[in-house]
Structure 1
């Protein structure tokens, strides 16, 4: 199943490694260093207007700055899993 990150970006849930609250990540020194490193390597895609980023999504294909909160992305992810479970017949 796919997770909508904002804008026109969909990623396979299987490729999502982590979804981080950006404010929390920036306040953590090791996370801040990680953010600087991925920005330096240009391995980050901003799908949000500058200053409106709320979450960092780390995937096997790249990293995304999203205007959607990590909580909302988690709810979407769980909703997708529930839909899959409902369609399974054992």
Structure 2
């Protein structure tokens, strides 16, 4: 199964680790540290030129998605329940 993250980016649902609202980047010291480290190792990908609304963590990358975390979580949940 696959999850559409916005733009032309689709990931395998098996790669999904977590979906966060973008506000976590500013509200958590641990999250900021995680993002800084992912940036250093070139594991960050901005999906669209639109404003990012969520962070999607996979086994290989961290994606900045223009789709809200609520919508992405619903998509992921639908895959898990079918």
**Is the TM value for this pair above 0.5?**
yes
Structure 2 CA distance for aligned equivalents of residues 48 and 3 of structure 1: 16
**Is there any run of 5+ residues in structure 1 with no aligned partner, and where?**
85-90
Which of structures 1 and 2 has the bigger CA Rg?
1
Question: TM-score, normalization: structure 1?
Answer: 0.82
Question: TM-score, normalization: structure 2?
Answer: 0.89
**Is there any run of 5+ residues in structure 2 with no aligned partner, and where?**
none
Residue 8 (structure 1) aligned with residue 16 (structure 2): no
Structure with greater proportional helix content: 1
Q: Which residue of 1 aligns with 2:66?
A: 67
Structure 2 CA distance for aligned equivalents of residues 60 and 8 of structure 1: 19
- What is the Cα-based RMSD across aligned positions, in Å? 1.4
SS in 1 for 2:23: helix
Query: 4+ residue stretches of structure 1 with deviation over 4 A?
Result: none
